Amino acid sequence: MTKSILFSVLVSSAVLISACNVTDQEVDQKKVVGVVDETNLNDIMLTVADPNQAVNYFRNAVVEDPTRNDLKRNLAKSLVRAKRSQEAVEIYKQLDTANELAAQDRVDYAEALVRSSNWKDAKIQLDRVPPTLETFQRYRLEALVADSQKQWKKSDSFYQTAVGLTTKPANVLNNWGFSKLTRKDYKGAEALFVRAITSDSKIFTAKNNLVLSRASRKVYTLPVIPMTQTERAELTYTAALAAIKHGDKQTGRNLLEKAIELHPRHFEAAIRSLKGLST
């Protein structure tokens, strides 16, 4: 840059600064805008961003400002989203020790503990949540914890409440159905799986669980539910394995052959199972 150009830039900058006459109020407004921008970015990271990218973002933010407990909470939530629940638990422990956990934080803490299969500590956290916090997440977790303790009446009550608190109940209905399945209440389980599929026709786990539940009663035909050609083959395979497990080997063999025939591509798992049955 030549001296004349540099001089022009400096003069222009000086004129702009003089003309702006920035006040303290305007500076404060800029700070507010910065906070709003940060809040929006944090929300994006917690919801639609790639979970591992969100983890890196909040971990770096915590390193830059370790006094920000809100950033630590967001880091913990991101770790749960990234299926790194045990790491999230450690952060929640730190916040708990510092008395920095609100009611919703304890529910989130319980979520991380449940995902880490730490049912005992999850119950402790849920017991510390005031009854005034009535959310879908809270009651879904209460139901899962009650299931872990085989407190069936409690779990049924919590599941029912959770279902009433969401517009998308498919997953919780599937969990409730699986709870019934473990109790050998097959018809009760099937009714819940059907409700889950009715709520979300793409929920394959509920379809698979429905086939397993029917197979427990030695009903190996597929239920009348929405399914793709690939799903039909995979569900037939599930029924086949269940039949073999129950000692109905010929039925299982027939179903394996049908699954292979139905699948639009090469069905390696079914082919391998059929070969294993023949040896």
pLDDT in tens, 240-264: 999 999 999 999 999 999 999 999 9
- Indicate the burial class of 20 (C-beta count within 10 angstroms; 0-12, 13-18, 19 or more): exposed
Is 161 contained in some domain?
A: no
Structural domain count of the chain: 2
pTM score over 0.75: yes
Is 184 contained in some domain?
A: no
User: What pLDDT score was predicted for residue 277?
Assistant: 87
pLDDT in tens, 198-212: 999 999 999 999 999
State the average pLDDT over residues 212-237.
97
Please give the residue range of the domain that contains residue 248: 228-279
Domain end residue (candidates: 79, 101, 129) = 129
CATH of the domain at 62: 1.25.40.10
pLDDT in tens, 131-155: 999 999 999 999 999 999 999 999 9
User: What pLDDT score was predicted for residue 125?
Assistant: 98
CA distances from 64 to 61, 131, 234, 263, 276 (A): 5, 36, 49, 53, 57
User: What pLDDT score was predicted for residue 134?
Assistant: 97
Phi/psi of residue 219, nearest 5 degrees: -105, 105
Domain end residue (candidates: 66, 100, 129) = 129
Which of 211-215, 238-242, 262-266, 274-278 has the weakest average pLDDT?
274-278
State the average pLDDT over residues 76-98.
96
Say if residue 31's pLDDT is above 80. no
Say if residue 38's pLDDT is above 80. no
Domain end residue (candidates: 104, 129, 154) = 129
Question: Model confidence at 278, in pLDDT bands (50, 70, 90)?
Answer: confident
Is 116 contained in some domain?
A: yes
Write down the mean pLDDT value for the chain.
Answer: 88
CA distances from 37 to 51, 70, 107 (A): 20, 15, 27
